Amino acid sequence: MSLPPLFPRRVTSPCRIGPLTMGSGHPVVVQSMITEETRNIEGCVEQIIELHRAGCELVRVTTPSLGEAECLAEIRAKVNERHGYVPLTADVHHQGTDIAVEAAKHVDEVRVNPGLFVFRRHGTRAKTETGLAVDVRGREENEVDRLRAELAYDPAEWALELEAIEESFVPVLEACKRFDRAIRVGVNHGSLSERILITYGDTPRGMVESAMEYLRLGEKHGYTNFNISAKASRVPIMVAANRLMASRMLEEGMRYPLHLGVTEAGDGDYARVKSTAGIATLLMEGIGDTIRVSLSEDPIHEIPVCYDILQSLGLRITKVEYIACPSCGRTKFNLPTVFNQVRDATKHLKGLTLAVMGCIVNGPGEMADADYGYVGAAGGKITLYRKRDVVKTGIPQERGVEELIALLKADGVWKEPGEGSDGLTPLPTLAPKNRLAPAAPV
Ligand code: SF4
């Protein structure tokens, strides 16, 4: 009654994020981000609770300045009081040391963006070296190569920048150690630092090396509770960056969990397809421990897409798995109508795999490993299957759903909607090992 994944998952170290554990064989965590301004505390509290109720297990809140980071204390307290504990992440970007240190007091995870954390505007170096403000990004390839050669960092300059990063990052590492918080090193293809762009180009390699610097600094200072994201708006770049991230980490003996997402995917069907193309490709390779589907819509719409990706790969089972043929000239009934009837009657039976097939010629073979099958037969009749065995034949179409329910009842797998199940809009249940004690209040 479940769909065991047919691919091994990448072995990772665990990352503790409040009550969640990410990686290390735990279920893939579903996360999203609220869109309210952080200073609108009531709005944030409402949206966090709404997302958590919809199944979002880790909710991100933006903290562009210290003022927003300070708001997190009240947001955390009100969410706890009105709803219960929700794992929270604070998103930190430009010159983020003080912001991240403040955020670490209140939330379970701090996200830092290596491209922006110690921020130098693009063109700064070009101006210094040539007297012209030049941005290396968005140029013809040969011009980029020329600029990169002209502006290349020497080892002393490189070391100086790394020292500046270390100085800014160590207080964050210390705060996260003190409060037992996670850090997400979140690289974006669109916001690599000028030093990384000049050295590695606008490439997956640049994304990966940018993150590696932060991971090495963490380990140097005794901090290892990391997870990493390497996002891009173009699927091939996002996929390449995550593959490379996993292998580069392994070369240096690191096994941190990976957060998958396609940035700026847009909205509607195409955004869902685009996100799925990137996320599912990597999950199928065993890469990925948490996912976010970024939509330019209300973030509540992201959660069902995440669960559908995980369910379709057999990584999280949150609802009934249906197998239905597209129908063809052999179909003996209106398949879309019958499929809807079967689904309406059974959609609360989380964990079952049910097949609705149009004909007996190919149906039984094509419904693969379904637990039960509802198959059209000659003369407008229905045949019911348990696994690959015929259980009943010659059922008039109008009694098909009724007979299917009777079979499920006889087998002891039927539940009334809402009875001992998650009802018509099932929420996921984490495995017990993913329910650790909440982080200590600060
Ligand atoms: Fe056609 Fe039968 Fe295949 Fe359905 S199962 S598509 S009806 S051949």
CA of 361 to the centre of ligand 1 (A): 7
Please indicate whether residue 323, judged by its CB atom, sits closer than 6 Å to ligand 1: no
Please indicate whether residue 368, judged by its CB atom, sits closer than 6 Å to ligand 1: no
| Residue 293 confidence (pLDDT) above 60 | yes
Please indicate whether residue 330, judged by its CB atom, sits closer than 6 Å to ligand 1: yes
| Nearest atom of ligand 1 to the alpha carbon of 328 | 1
Please indicate whether residue 324, judged by its CB atom, sits closer than 6 Å to ligand 1: no
Please indicate whether residue 358, judged by its CB atom, sits closer than 6 Å to ligand 1: yes
| Residue 390 confidence (pLDDT) above 80 | yes
Report pLDDT for 121.
Answer: 66
- Ligand 1 pocket test, candidate residues 323, 362, 382, most atoms within 8 A of CB: 362
How far is it, in rounded angstroms, from Cα 60 to Cα 193? 23
How far is it, in rounded angstroms, from Cα 125 to Cα 131? 9
Report the nearest-CA residue for atom 5 of ligand 1.
363
pLDDT digits (tens, 9 = 90+) for 61-91: 999 999 999 999 999 999 999 999 999 999 9
CA of 191 to the centre of ligand 1 (A): 50
pTM: 0.89
pLDDT digits (tens, 9 = 90+) for 184-208: 999 999 989 989 988 998 899 999 9
Pairing of the two strands 226-231 and 258-260: parallel
φ/ψ (deg, to 5) at 176: -70, -30
Three-class secondary structure assignment of 100-128 = HHHHHCCCCEEEECCCCCCCCCCCHHHHH
């960092």: which residue's tokens?
A: 153
- Ligand 1 pocket test, candidate residues 327, 334, 339, most atoms within 8 A of CB: 327
Report pLDDT for 7.
Answer: 79
Q: What is the CA radius of gyration of the chain?
A: 25
Report the nearest-CA residue for atom 8 of ligand 1.
362
How far is it, in rounded angstroms, from Cα 440 to Cα 412? 43
Report pLDDT for 362.
Answer: 77
Report pLDDT for 1.
Answer: 44
| Nearest atom of ligand 1 to the alpha carbon of 359 | 2
Cβ atoms 168, 94 nearer than 8 A: no
Report the nearest-CA residue for atom 1 of ligand 1.
328
Dihedral angle over CA of 68, 73, 74, 80, nearest 10: 130
Report pLDDT for 426.
Answer: 36
Cβ atoms 59, 34 nearer than 8 A: yes
Rounded average pLDDT over 381-396: 93
CA of 358 to the centre of ligand 1 (A): 5
Q: Which amino acid is at 36?
A: E
Count of beta carbons in the 10 Å neighbourhood of residue 217: 19
Dihedral angle over CA of 103, 105, 107, 113, nearest 10: 30
CA of 329 to the centre of ligand 1 (A): 8
What value does the mean pLDDT of the chain take?
A: 89
| Burial per residue of 181-212, b for 16 or more beta-carbon CB atoms within 10 angstroms, e otherwise | bbbbbbbbbebbbbbbbbbbbbbbbbbbbbbb
Cβ atoms 206, 136 nearer than 8 A: no
Dihedral sign of CA atoms 239, 243, 244, 249 in order: positive
DSSP assigned state of 399: G
| Nearest atom of ligand 1 to the alpha carbon of 358 | 7
| Nearest atom of ligand 1 to the alpha carbon of 360 | 2
pLDDT digits (tens, 9 = 90+) for 9-68: 999 999 999 999 999 999 999 999 999 999 999 999 999 999 999 999 999 999 999 999
CA of 6 to the centre of ligand 1 (A): 26
Please indicate whether residue 98, judged by its CB atom, sits closer than 6 Å to ligand 1: no
CA of 350 to the centre of ligand 1 (A): 26
């830092």: which residue's tokens?
A: 112
How far is it, in rounded angstroms, from Cα 179 to Cα 55? 26
Please indicate whether residue 373, judged by its CB atom, sits closer than 6 Å to ligand 1: no
CA of 413 to the centre of ligand 1 (A): 27
User: Edge to edge, what strands does the sheet with 389-396 contain?
Assistant: 321-324, 353-357, 372-377, 381-386, 389-396
How far is it, in rounded angstroms, from Cα 250 to Cα 245? 9
Per-residue pLDDT band for 423 (boundaries 50, 70, 90) equals very low
Please indicate whether residue 14, judged by its CB atom, sits closer than 6 Å to ligand 1: no
How far is it, in rounded angstroms, from Cα 334 to Cα 327? 8
Q: Which amino acid is at 42?
A: E
Residue 230's SS3 state is strand
Please indicate whether residue 366, judged by its CB atom, sits closer than 6 Å to ligand 1: yes
Helices vs. strands in the chain: H and E counts, helices first: 14, 15
pLDDT digits (tens, 9 = 90+) for 112-145: 999 888 866 666 666 655 665 556 666 777 777 8
| Nearest atom of ligand 1 to the alpha carbon of 375 | 5
- Ligand 1 pocket test, candidate residues 323, 339, 356, 361, most atoms within 8 A of CB: 361
């390839």: which residue's tokens?
A: 141
Of residues 294, 229, 222, the one with CA closest to residue 258: 229
Report pLDDT for 83.
Answer: 97
Of residues 342, 346, 340, 380, the one with CA closest to residue 360: 380
Residues 6+ apart with CB under 8 A from 409: none
Residues in the chain: 442
- Ligand 1 pocket test, candidate residues 323, 330, 334, most atoms within 8 A of CB: 330
| Nearest atom of ligand 1 to the alpha carbon of 329 | 1
| Structure tokens that stand for 137 in this block | 């990004």
Please indicate whether residue 375, judged by its CB atom, sits closer than 6 Å to ligand 1: no
